Amino acid sequence: MSSWQDSFKKFTGKTRFVVSRLFIHLAGSEVTPLLGVLNRAVREIVASEGNLEVAGEELVEVCQSLLQYDTYWQSAANEGDVIWNEGEAGDFFDELFTDSASRYLSSGDNEDYEVDDQPLTLSPTGNLVVMLTVAFEGEVPDIEADLASMGAMTLALKALINLHYQEKLRGIQIHFSPARLGDELDNEQLLLNFSELIPL
């Protein structure tokens, strides 16, 4: 994402914004506890009306949980862009939000995330896709690289955690599929709806 234009804009004092979306696909009934973490995180963010500090704390929790479940990572992908205009960065961030929320069995609505007393389950071969979208200021090579490897994705998740503590995050979204109790994302639906995923 870096180029001579970056150098020129840095020289002229313009702010560098990065909007990036990470996809992580996990499989197996053992990842069921992660569904609980994700549901709770989204409920907290919605309840706080998108408060960035709350969203950042929940992002940290989700990233740490994903790192603990790396044994179950199956495939991954990422996309993003460097934008030198805050308004354009916001537009691209919103565009990715809309796309993530419209993905198969995913949603951004509060009522789609289950309450604490309901069991969360995945079938033994169940698939779970987590989509994390962030907007931040500055340059973070570990997030801006190709993340289709275990090592690269591990570094990217750790970098997201650091961005929160450095207070550089300007936008945070957490989506996952399936989001509703009882829904299942089978292998065919996974290939059809998350075609960007690359096996790890």
Task: Note the pLDDT tens digit of each residue in 118-131.
Answer: 555 555 558 999 99
pLDDT at 8 over 60: no
Whole-model pTM: value is 0.87
Q: For residues 93 and 170, what is the distance between their CA atoms, to the nearest angstrom? A: 10
Min mean pLDDT across 47-61, 79-93, 103-117 is at 103-117
pLDDT at 114 over 50: no
Closest CA to 114 of 30, 178, 65, 194: 178
Ranges of beta strands (E only) in 28-150 are 73-83, 127-137
pLDDT at site 166: 95
